[in-house]
Amino acid sequence: MSTLTLEKSLEAFSAKFAVSAALTEEGKKFIPGGYSRSSFNFGPHAVYAESGDGAYIMTVDGHRLLDLNNNFTVNVLGHAHPAIESALVEAIPAGFSFGNPSLVEADLARILIERISSVEKVQFSCSATESCMSAIRVARAYTGRIKIAKFEGGYHGFSDMLHVSSHTMPGQGGSDADPQAVADSAGIPQTELENTIVLVQNDLAGTDRILRENARDIACLILELQSGAGGLVTLDEEFVLALRALTTELGIVLIVDETISLRAGYHGLQGVYGVTPDLTVMGKIIGGGMPLGALGGSKAVMRVLENGQVSISGTHHGHRLALVAGAACMNTMDADAFERLNRHSNRIMKELNEWSHARGSRLTIYGKGFSHMAYGYMTEPGLMVRNHRDYWHNVDGEKTQILSLELAIRGFFPVHRGEFSLSLPMTDDDITSFIEALKQIVTELES
Ligand SMILES: Cc1ncc(COP(=O)(O)O)c(C=O)c1O
């Protein structure tokens, strides 16, 4: 009989973060659910942070936690990084908001264009949700087609058109061979579902068949090379390269959503795969902790924005402070910085998977080997997650939740569903302590 149970871990979590629990209740008086982002939930309630410093956060409950959430992968440089802080402090006295463009907009666009070879032009917004919406509009205008193809488990923001089949639950979404669009929220019109073609990750035969059958209507295929918010799934390289060839053949715009995966390397995850999409969505790290999204793409496709065919306009698009923070962050993220993060990532994956394998444990660390990964407690030793539906069969949700709660109790703050990301200020000792904590929790779970 394990010494750890969900009930005990929930109790210990709420006792340790009692001030956060009380603040959540207080917040509910004014805000639906207590806070404006349901993803703040960490099981029974959120953990409120008072401040962040480097790789750590201080919670209102007085605990210092190694931040493995990093605002869902945003904080690649950790908290209050001096380069970002000084860039913002310098920029603030000149004013915050203008109906004029700023010099730094082209600077950050140039940085992204120099690094991501498929990107020849960039348009900024305030979030990746918005830039995904822009990508769809651009693709529809460019092709004259309406339908969107996306993967079940792929998350591309919360717009009506894309908040579809990101979190499909068991019993929903049709059969494995014939996946059907499912709204992720009430209030999404049926027409959006009719316009969405859903595919299964890493299933080339099925994807090929469905795309060919609907090719005349499909404007774009949008995908994450490694998904996050819908559950971490890594697409195989051969699968992605085959999709590039297929979409080119069928005249479908290929959109790679690199909102999270830009932290994979200096040239993004598309650089690692060697794939050249038509459009790329960027977010998270490019704003250095400020709200910023971007759509990049080839000159040919982005021309519909240039010639005025497509109209996109937001009051805060090209916000100077977000661009200043973003440029400081991206300039700090040189090739060595990505390599350091990936070295830590590979160490975590290797050491924990080898340890787990040797003892016949069900712990699996999965991901492409860059600084956004997941841990899962599987239903059988050695199982992996190859598509969204594997979460239904292969991952023991309750035990994975225990891992998350116990990590928080022991001084680590991952994403509750089992994902985690690294930040540059993390030291070898931080990584060692995380590895040892997970080993200890799993040992107790299996004792
Ligand atoms: C791959 C991906 N695309 C789009 C989004 C939406 O980004 P935002 O929350 O900045 O609107 C997210 C957010 O997590 C994401 O992970």
Share the mean pLDDT of the chain.
Answer: 97
In the set 155, 366, 375, 377, the catalytic residue is: 155
H/E element, 270: helix 268-273
Ligand 1 close to Cβ of residue 223 (< 6 A): no
Select which of 67, 203, 257, 390 is catalytic. 257
pLDDT, residue 2, reads 78
Rounded to whole angstroms, how far apart are CA atoms 293 and 315? 14
Nearest CA-CA partner of 177 in 208, 149, 154, 200: 200
Q: What is the mean pLDDT of residues 299-323?
A: 97
What is the distance in A from the centroid of ligand 1 to the CA of 157? 5
CA–CA dist 330, 322 (Å, integer): 12
Domains of the chain, first to last: 6-76+335-445 (3.90.1150.10), 82-332 (3.40.640.10)
Residue 61 per-residue DSSP state: T
Contact indicator for 140, 219 with CB cutoff of 8 Å: yes
Q: What are the tens digits of pLDDT across the range 343-394?
A: 999 999 999 999 999 999 999 999 999 999 999 999 999 899 999 999 999 9
* Distance in Å, CA 293 to ligand 1 centroid: 9
Percent residues over pLDDT 70 in the chain = 100
pLDDT at 3: 84
**Mean pLDDT, range 137-153, rounded to an integer:** 98
Ligand 1 pocket member 329 (CB < 6 A): no
* Ligand 1 close to Cβ of residue 132 (< 6 A): yes
- Which pLDDT score, from 0 to 100, does residue 125 have? 98
Question: What does the pLDDT look like over 391-411, one tens digit per residue?
Answer: 999 999 999 999 999 999 999
- What pTM was estimated for this model as a whole? 0.97
In 3D space, the residue among 70, 419, 414, 66 whose CA is nearest the CA of residue 233 turns out to be 419
Task: Tell which atom from ligand 1 comes closest to the C-alpha of 157.
Answer: 6
Q: Determine the Cα–Cα distance for residues 268 and 258; give it in Å rounded to an integer.
A: 7
CA 156 / ligand 1 centre spacing (Å): 6
Q: 125 CB under 6 A from ligand 1?
A: no
Please check the confidence at residue 123 and state whether its pLDDT lies above 80: yes
152 and 385 Cβ atoms separated by less than 8 Å = no
Distance 258 CA to ligand 1 centre (A): 9
Cα 238 to ligand 1 centre (Å): 25
Mean pLDDT within 314-339:
98
- Give me the mean pLDDT over the 76-86 stretch: 98
- Residue 422's nearest CA partner among 389, 387, 374, 376 is 374
Is residue 155 flagged as an active site residue?
yes
Give the 3-state secondary structure of 199-210: ECCCCHHHHHHH
- C-alpha 169 – ligand 1 centre gap (Å): 20
pLDDT of residue 99: 96
Average pLDDT (30-43) is 92
Angle between helices 103-115 and 320-332 (to 10 degrees): 40
Instruction: Establish whether 257 is a catalytic residue.
Output: yes
Element (H, E) at 348: helix 335-358
Assess whether the C-beta atom of 367 lies below 6 angstroms from ligand 1: no
pLDDT attached to residue 1: 61
Q: Is 129 in the pocket of ligand 1 (CB under 6 A)?
A: yes
Calculate the CA 313 to chain-centre distance. Answer: 25
| Catalytic residue (one of 16, 121, 147, 284) | 284
Instruction: Please give the average per-residue pLDDT across 230-251, as a whole number.
Output: 97
Nearest Cα residue to atom 6 of ligand 1: 157
DSSP summary character for residue 215: G
Q: Which residue's CA lies nearest to atom 13 of ligand 1?
A: 157
Q: Mean pLDDT throughout 275-282?
A: 98
Half-sphere exposure (CA, 13 Å, Cβ side) for 43?
29
Average pLDDT estimate for 91-106 = 96
- Tell me the average pLDDT across 194-199: 98
284 assigned to active site = yes
Contact 355, 364 (CB under 8 A): no
Q: State what percent of residues in the chain have pLDDT above 90.
A: 97
Q: Is the CB of 229 under 6 A from ligand 1?
A: yes
